[in-house]
Structure 1
Amino acid sequence: MRYQSGQTAKLVEPNEMNFLPTSIVDSKRLSILVWNIFKQKRSECIHFLDTYANTTALLLLQEAQTTPQLINFIHRNHKIADQVPAYTFKDVYSGVMTVSNVTPINAIGFKEKEPLIRIPKSALITQYQLLENQKTLLVANIHAVNFSLGIKIYNQQIKLLLNQLATHEGPIILAGDFNSWSRQRLHILYRLIRMSNLKMVNFTSDMRKTFMGRPLDFVFYRDLAIDQAKIIHTDASDHNPLLVDFIIN
């Protein structure tokens, strides 16, 4: 689903292309915010998003729900938001959402059912034009499956997403809530990331959400340079957002 300022929500068809893309940036800098927003349960969530709406090129959100408050945020800040609904309840869709100032060249959605509770988690790949004569940027936003006894479905979901990135020639960002709370999950994640020639963003002051002592949120990248990366402490969600400023090579 696509939500756009001044327009009604629309269903984006598979392989629907934007043949007149606008560059996502107007300089060599690209700033992103990655955040599980906890279904907007806490009152300060939308205010926090407003704070970073004009200083980031991309907001990669997990557990985003299409409440009136979030839809108003999109319209008020003249944004374009693409969402893969994992599930719907009382006409409110929930899933990963990537928010930008421009329409992506294309978008591909994925869903994977939780093995135990059978409620899906979603992932989204969007592609954006960079500066004139530059290659395009591929952005993958994921909320990984959580409730499983083994690692088969987790491995399947991560591998499927990375297979979609493998053929892209140009910069890549892969980020989100990976639910990497076990040693086995972290091992799979790190192994697949190395095989895909992606690098991990490291944070000096690491205040990422953890479970069982392991971080859940990550940013991985390729063919970009890092200017700065930090984690912002907030009570607006049960996760702290990750803010990364990239330099386009």
Structure 2
Amino acid sequence: MLKSRYSPVESLKIMGHAPNQVMGPNIELLLWNVFKCKKKGWLEDFKTLTCDKDLILLQEAILNSPFDIDFKKSLQHQWMMARSFKNVKTNIVTGVKTGSTVAAQQHYFSVSKYSEPVSQTKKMLLATLYPLPTLGQSLLVVNSHLINFVSFEKFRAHLDQVFHTLENHNGPILLAGDFNTWNGKRLRYFNQLAMSFSLEEVKMDRKPRLNHLFQHLDHIYFRGLEVVNAHVHTNIHSSDHYPISLSLHTLNPVAIK
């Protein structure tokens, strides 16, 4: 059996500084799988896309690279990275990373129960909680990268784990990430769970990609918020995923069950 070049490093890293006290009422969000920052021009695109964003949700983010300085010294965002695995040759750590203009009240991260084949790597979710302008209201944000190249049963186990983080939150929710929904069975199960939590999917004009089997892997689901505008940046080619920008507005508090 071949030895994997990856080793587990399941932990959380916090960087940067958040200048604001509450999230909203207007929220600008960016969702992007950054492909481990491998492609030329990534940093320039990243800076352009994130300069006006309140929330930034990245998958396949990295640590222990020359890009670290842009996160560690940030005065615009607090950055939390849930680290999943490390390349033992390069020392590069990979995981999901959430940036916010408001410091998180609480945070939680969890790694998938099962590993992906060959690489034997696991995938991560990161949940963060932010105060809203209405006293006592908080926004739960769950940034996820779902396990891939496994049976539906293992995929389902990881998705159940993601939705478990929503169970005790009665307020607004944003659930977003790369969910690897490249077949109908996976997507149907995802939508079934979303409906049970009263989540709606953000609708947007897409441009399918051949390397994603012409299926959409990146999704944003919400509850207790109003979607103002959504845009897929099909002109950005510094990743194998297109970035998605989303404008949201908080609603008056309602009892959400």
**TM-score by structure 2 length?**
0.84
SS of the residue 2:240 aligns to: coil
Hey, what does 2:3 align to over in structure 1?
A: none
1:129 to 122, 128, 131: 131
> What does residue range 193-232 of structure 1 map to in structure 2 within 5 Å?
193-203=194-204, 205-207=205-207, 209=209, 211-232=212-233
User: Residues of 1 paired with 2:85 and 2:25: CA distance?
Assistant: 37
> How well do the aligned residues superpose, as a CA RMSD in angstroms?
1.9
> What does residue range 1-249 of structure 1 map to in structure 2 within 5 Å?
1-5=12-16, 23-25=21-23, 27-78=24-75, 79-89=77-87, 90-112=90-112, 113-117=114-118, 118-148=120-150, 150-203=151-204, 205-207=205-207, 209=209, 211-233=212-234, 234-249=236-251
- 8 Å CA contact 2:21–2:103 kept in 1: the answer is no
Cα distance, 1:81–1:208 mapped onto 2, change above 3 Å: farther
Percent of aligned pairs sharing the same letter: 25
User: Residues of 1 paired with 2:21 and 2:136: CA distance?
Assistant: 10
Cα distance, 1:246–1:141 mapped onto 2, change above 3 Å: same
SS of the residue 1:74 aligns to: helix
Cα distance, 1:22–1:180 mapped onto 2, change above 3 Å: same
Output the amino acid matched with 1:181: W
User: Residues of 1 paired with 2:49 and 2:22: CA distance?
Assistant: 16
User: Residues of 2 paired with 1:82 and 1:115: CA distance?
Assistant: 24
SS of the residue 1:185 aligns to: helix
User: Residues of 1 paired with 2:219 and 2:209: CA distance?
Assistant: 10
Higher mean C-alpha displacement, 115-124 vs 176-185: 115-124
Output the amino acid matched with 2:175: L
- 8 Å CA contact 2:25–2:132 kept in 1: the answer is no
Cα distance, 1:45–1:180 mapped onto 2, change above 3 Å: same
- 8 Å CA contact 2:200–2:222 kept in 1: the answer is yes
- 8 Å CA contact 2:13–2:83 kept in 1: the answer is no
TM-fit CA distance, 1:43:
2.1
Q: Unpaired runs of 5+ in structure 1?
A: 7-20
- 8 Å CA contact 2:30–2:50 kept in 1: the answer is no
Cα distance, 1:76–1:53 mapped onto 2, change above 3 Å: farther
Higher mean C-alpha displacement, 180-189 vs 130-139: 130-139
Output the amino acid matched with 2:194: I
Cα distance, 1:201–1:212 mapped onto 2, change above 3 Å: same
Deviations 1:206-241 (A, max 9, x none): 125562232100000000000101101211101001
TM-fit CA distance, 1:70:
2.8
SS of the residue 2:67 aligns to: helix
User: Residues of 2 paired with 1:64 and 1:189: CA distance?
Assistant: 24
**TM-score by structure 1 length?**
0.87
Cα distance, 1:231–1:72 mapped onto 2, change above 3 Å: same
User: Residues of 2 paired with 1:246 and 1:115: CA distance?
Assistant: 34
Higher mean C-alpha displacement, 50-59 vs 118-127: 50-59
SS of the residue 1:194 aligns to: helix
TM-fit CA distance, 1:134:
4.8
Cα distance, 1:209–1:76 mapped onto 2, change above 3 Å: farther
SS of the residue 1:190 aligns to: helix
User: Residues of 2 paired with 1:218 and 1:227: CA distance?
Assistant: 16
